[in-house]
Amino acid sequence: MTMTPSSVQVEDILKSPVFAGAKIVAGRAGLVQPVRWVHILEVSQVNGMLRGGEFVLTTGIGFGNREEGFLSYVKQLIEGGAVGLCIELGTFVTEIPHSVVKLANLHNFPLVVFSFQVHFVDITQEIHTLLLGQNSVQSKQASPFLLNRAEEQYWVTTLTLLKGQERSQDGQEPSLPEVFLQQAVYRVLILDLSYHLSPSGQESRDTIAMENLVQVVQLHCDKQDIHSFAAIRHKRVILLMQSTSTKGNSLKNSISIVVRQTMHSLQTQGWMLNSLAIGIGSEVQDPSRIFESYEDAIVALIAAQQSPATSPLFIEDAGIYRWLVPRLRCNSERMTHPDVQQLVTYDKNHGGQLVETLKTYLDLDRNKQRTADKLFIHRQTLYHRLQQIQDIFQMNLDDPAQRLALHLSVYLHLLQQEFDSAQSDSRRKTSLTAEQS
């Protein structure tokens, strides 16, 4: 992609309050360079991860105090078309080598430093908002098929979370960018990073991990002629995959290759792949149905989380979850067994784990030893929980039909929780849509 002309220059973003206390140590002549996006790059090899016009943030974890590694990193940024680098001194880098300052000055490459700890998440949010407001119209004039990262975040959120009637204002939907008006097929891919990110208090590090993941996936998508648009939401990365290719390889096969290559790249970076869950939704041709692919991707993700060995999982391979989807889109409360609702209420009021216990027990064909092992509890604890379950309802688990109905109801309940969370997101984003449309 070519860089979009921008009215936002490096010197403009450095005037933002989030850069208070930062110092320019080299490359002042390059402060007039236009900024297309802000990237967090914490890997030592950044070749292929830049599209031109990025202002880069790093803690230096990828190269540390190794002068040779630092110099190589800056060279790669310059060759990749980046327009500046901001680095946090302290934890991984204690000082800027003279050779790096000399290189930056030679190429008019702004080098900015913080001598104290900063939250990159605050910087990216502030600058992305600025870029979206200033660049949106110019971006469309320069290239109707080019979206900057802020626009990607907005449109992926809008198309996946909101149905047509929720996107519309005064009976009319907002105009889609031209990139979504060409003949194409789409799939939504969700990567859940819950087990990889910090539970709390480490927002900057979490943002670094997710931005790095987006860059890796999009790099491999480009190699497969897949247009990818990313949004980061909570501890998940949402990727909208678009293919306009007339080649023989299907979008599903191409995504499989992308996932395989991404997993290999992440493995070399030290990721724990056995706890990275990936769900991929159905293929749609109409952008107005992208939300259906997103809902299917959630279903596939839930199935993948239940059995990590199956991740990544396409919705086509999600088994009984595919049957549950249309029930969820209708009236799931009527489909859920009343006894399951009683267990949910009990867990909520007493801080119990009866629903999880019942699900695991039925998943493992009522094998008590395997169930106890799976839940990491003693058999006596399991016996106590099973007795509690029996006290709450009197269903005969020896009856295959009753057992199947109960088992499906538990899965439907868990699925409903996921969709309730997504709908909560949808309601929060409705006001954003009204402002941006």
Are 80 and 183 contained in the same domain? no
Q: Give how many domains the chain has, as a whole number.
A: 3
Are 201 and 345 contained in the same domain? no
Are 314 and 169 contained in the same domain? yes
Domain with 57, as residue range(s), is 10-125
pTM for this structure?
A: 0.58
Are 184 and 296 contained in the same domain? yes
Look at phi and psi of residue 50 and say left if phi exceeds 0, alpha if psi is from -120 to 50, else beta.
Answer: beta
Among 424, 42, 48, 384, which Cα is nearest to 208's? 42
For residue 182, what is the domain's CATH number?
3.30.70
Q: Is 177 helix (H, G, I), strand (E, B) or coil?
A: coil
Residue 81 lies in a domain: yes
CA distance 7 to 47: 27
311 alpha carbon, distance to own chain's centre: 16
Among 119, 58, 120, which Cα is nearest to 93's? 58
Residue 5 lies in a domain: no
Strand partners, 191: 237, 278
Tally Cβ neighbours within 10 Å of residue 307: 12
CA distance 361 to 320: 17
Are 176 and 280 contained in the same domain? yes
User: Token digits for 104?
Assistant: 């930056």
pLDDT in tens, the chain (437 residues): 333 445 789 999 999 888 999 999 999 999 999 998 887 787 777 776 777 888 999 888 878 788 999 999 999 999 999 999 999 998 888 899 999 999 999 999 999 999 988 877 678 767 766 776 554 444 444 444 457 667 888 888 889 876 654 555 555 556 788 888 778 999 999 998 765 554 444 555 566 677 778 878 887 888 888 989 998 887 789 999 999 875 656 899 999 999 998 888 777 666 666 668 899 999 999 998 999 999 899 888 888 877 766 678 999 998 887 777 666 656 555 556 777 888 988 999 999 999 999 999 999 999 999 999 999 999 999 999 999 998 888 778 888 988 888 898 888 887 777 666 655 555 554 444 444 44
Are 208 and 338 contained in the same domain? no
For residue 89, what is the domain's CATH number?
3.40.1390.20
Indicate the residue among 290, 318, 346 that finishes a domain. Answer: 318
Are 157 and 228 contained in the same domain? yes
Tally Cβ neighbours within 10 Å of residue 236: 19
Residue 142 lies in a domain: no
Indicate the residue among 318, 342, 366 that finishes a domain. Answer: 318
**Residue appearing with tokens 């297309």:** 36
CA distance 436 to 161: 15
Are 266 and 381 contained in the same domain? no
Are 176 and 292 contained in the same domain? yes
Indicate the residue among 263, 285, 318 that finishes a domain. Answer: 318
Are 185 and 237 contained in the same domain? yes
